[in-house]
Structure 1
Amino acid sequence: MKLDPVTLRLFVAVMEESAIARAAAREHIAPSAASRRLAELEAQLQVELFTRSNRGSQPTAAAYALLHMARSVLNELDGIATQIKDYGRDHGSGLRGHVRVVANISVITQFLPAQLQRFLAQHPQVDVRLQERVSTDIARAVADNEADIGLLNHGSYGEKIQLRPYRRDRLAVVVPHGHALVRRRSVRLAELVQYDWVGMHAGSALNHLVTRAAADQGLQPRLRMKVTGYDALCLMVASGLGIGILPEGSARLYLGTLPLHCIALQEPWAERELMLCVRATETLSPVTQLLAEHLCQPAAD
């Protein structure tokens, strides 16, 4: 039995796109050729990967099992290509490889840029590929071998991933200059519900945390709009469209350029624990292990 990478990439694309036509276009293969390759793959493996009906094709349990294995194999092949290419460029000795990292917006805006800069300065031949996602998607990406390292909010994400302490952050309130709260050094959640809010989108961990905390206190915030990033949130608040809650470290990035004031949020849940996660059942590659250890080092004073 010989499984070629082209067919495996096509199979992964079909699973991710949920349509043979879109997957074929993504992999630059004719739809008829893609269908033929999938049929040949099923014949080689002697297992049905898709149940076909007049409503389309649905992945079987075997398809989901193969998806995890195919991603692992393709990732290893990509790693080989990257490392050998580095030798061909005569970069000399040193650590080589690539690491796929997924992180939430809180980590990316507060901690990750400086950490990655230091790591890549020490290991210039390592290729770090970074994507931003919400915490639940991060856990799933690591568990399904779409990523090697995840950085996310603390939570329960199942037994397929292993969590390590990463950093702690604290939530704060941002208000525009001239707001009634601007002279306050701290504020409670109950004091904020009389004002319009600019909130994060419904799928974000921050939205879930604030919504749950408000419900626990019997409060109903006046949510005027939802946005998908801290930059948009701060721009809307600076324009006087409401107040916002976001990590203090992220808020401080905008204080010098936007007419904003940052106020401490005095709630027990305002201090959050951020975690690093890897797959629980696999030995990490040397370069992934090194990056994970670097990220988990205590913050410098």
Structure 2
Amino acid sequence: MTYDHRSEPDVSARVAEIAPALAQFAAVGRTEHVTRAANELGMPQPTLSRAVARLEQQVGVALLTREGRTVRLTRAGRILLAAAERALAELGRGVEDARGEADPDGGRVAFGFLHTMGPEAVPMLLRGFRASYPKVRFTLVQDYTDSMLARLREGELDLCLLSPSPEGADLTSRRMGEQRLRLVVPADHRLAGRRRARLAEVAEDPFVTLEPGYGLRRIVDALCAEAGFTPRVSFEGEEADTLRGLVAAGLGVAVLPPAGTHRPEVTELEITAPRARRELALAWVTNRELPPPARAFRDYVLSMRGQLPLHG
């Protein structure tokens, strides 16, 4: 057999070219008999013989030696057979995993949510849902709003619990509830003895805030602008508990959702501005069909509207 080695195609292109014949070659290699392999595959023996010969031409090396009706693997054939069987086994597992994604009773849901929803709201939702769907698996992603929306659009996430409600015809969102925001100050702050305060009263204080890209950061910046000042940011963080710790250490004040548990080192004041609140929403891609387990979880979460522990 003569092979043309004058042109060496790109490896990925070569793999794509030979991939359809790997299962046929593997059947021949396992049985070392073309007729039995053809019967196993449910195809004519001459068609299988031509397919294996074409594979040898594509690979550029003899894979079989013919001995009457039987064949024997060459050394190169044994190497390729071992690789083909590993690849086919992995592909089989991938097919089963992919099919499992659509299993309404035991599939997987990729769910993104804000850090502030992690301690109470999300565990409550998962516990309630798993009571009816105990085999459904979850990939949980805590992130900020802009990043979650990007991952949602890319298909990495099925659903997101975020704030504010996203805009754009490519996304669908449903309101889940509302949180009144609080002005968080150190326990020894000059305003700590009050129940309510105007944001303008802390215009000269340093602020600790979430990083740009967080929905809450945009809300806080807008509230401060309405109060007539730009906050002097001393520290930026990624989640509310860390910011509360910075406030407790006397490093600034913050505007945050209400805490689930009381911290004596800080005082949380109502903000008099009527827009000092954030809306929470569940979002998904409008024209992308959700897998059955994600669809079931979406419906369950929506049934819990108004029942999330948002603490005011």
- TM-score, L = length of structure 1: 0.66
2:150 counterpart of 1:140? yes
Unaligned runs of 5+ in 2: 1-9, 20-92
Q: Offset at 1:236? A: 0.8
What is the aligned residue count?
Answer: 225
Q: From the superposition, tell whether residues 233 and 37 of structure 1 become closer, same or farther in structure 2 (CA, over 3 Å).
A: same
**Residue 244 (structure 1) aligned to one of 237, 250, 254:** 254
Q: Deviations over 1:167-196 (max 9, x none)?
A: 211211112212111111111211121222
Q: From the superposition, tell whether residues 196 and 38 of structure 1 become closer, same or farther in structure 2 (CA, over 3 Å).
A: farther
Amino acid at match of 1:222: R
Q: Which residue does the alignment assign to 1:80?
A: 99
Amino acid at match of 1:202: P
Unaligned runs of 5+ in 1: 1-34, 45-73, 85-93
Q: From the superposition, tell whether residues 179 and 75 of structure 1 become closer, same or farther in structure 2 (CA, over 3 Å).
A: farther
Q: Which residue does the alignment assign to 1:23?
A: none
Q: Offset at 1:82? A: 6.4
Q: Which residue does the alignment assign to 2:172?
A: 162
Q: Offset at 1:237? A: 0.8
2:11 counterpart of 1:36? yes
Aligned 8 A contact 2:208 2:243 in 1: yes
2:304 counterpart of 1:294? no
Q: From the superposition, tell whether residues 272 and 83 of structure 1 become closer, same or farther in structure 2 (CA, over 3 Å).
A: closer
> 2-side partners of 1:282 and 1:275: how far apart?
18
> 2-side partners of 1:273 and 1:38: how far apart?
50
> 1-side partners of 2:196 and 2:214: how far apart?
24
Q: Deviations over 1:84-111 (max 9, x none)?
A: 8xxxxxxxxx822110011122333452
Aligned 8 A contact 1:79 1:98 in 2: no
Aligned 8 A contact 1:197 1:244 in 2: yes
Partner secondary structure for residue 281 of structure 1: coil
Q: Offset at 1:156? A: 4.1
2:133 counterpart of 1:114? no
Moved more, 212-221 or 147-156: 212-221
Amino acid at match of 1:277: A
Q: Which residue does the alignment assign to 1:189?
A: 199
Moved more, 143-152 or 262-271: 262-271
Q: Among the aligned pairs, what percent are the same residue?
A: 25
Q: Offset at 1:41? A: 5.9
2:210 counterpart of 1:204? no
Partner secondary structure for residue 284 of structure 2: strand
Aligned 8 A contact 1:174 1:244 in 2: yes
Q: Offset at 1:114? A: 1.3
> 1-side partners of 2:11 and 2:110: how far apart?
31
**Residue 267 (structure 2) aligned to one of 251, 257, 261:** 261
Q: Which residue does the alignment assign to 1:98?
A: 108
> 1-side partners of 2:167 and 2:12: how far apart?
35
Q: Offset at 1:296? A: 1.6
Q: Which residue does the alignment assign to 1:283?
A: 289
2:133 counterpart of 1:123? yes
> 2-side partners of 1:293 and 1:262: how far apart?
34
Aligned 8 A contact 2:100 2:107 in 1: no
Q: Which residue does the alignment assign to 1:58?
A: none
Partner secondary structure for residue 131 of structure 2: helix
Q: Which residue does the alignment assign to 1:178?
A: 188
> 1-side partners of 2:170 and 2:265: how far apart?
44
> 2-side partners of 1:240 and 1:109: how far apart?
24
Q: From the superposition, tell whether residues 136 and 240 of structure 1 become closer, same or farther in structure 2 (CA, over 3 Å).
A: same
Partner secondary structure for residue 136 of structure 1: helix
> 2-side partners of 1:38 and 1:198: how far apart?
53
Q: CA RMSD in A?
A: 2.9
- TM-score, L = length of structure 2: 0.64
Q: Which residue does the alignment assign to 1:232?
A: 242
Partner secondary structure for residue 118 of structure 2: helix
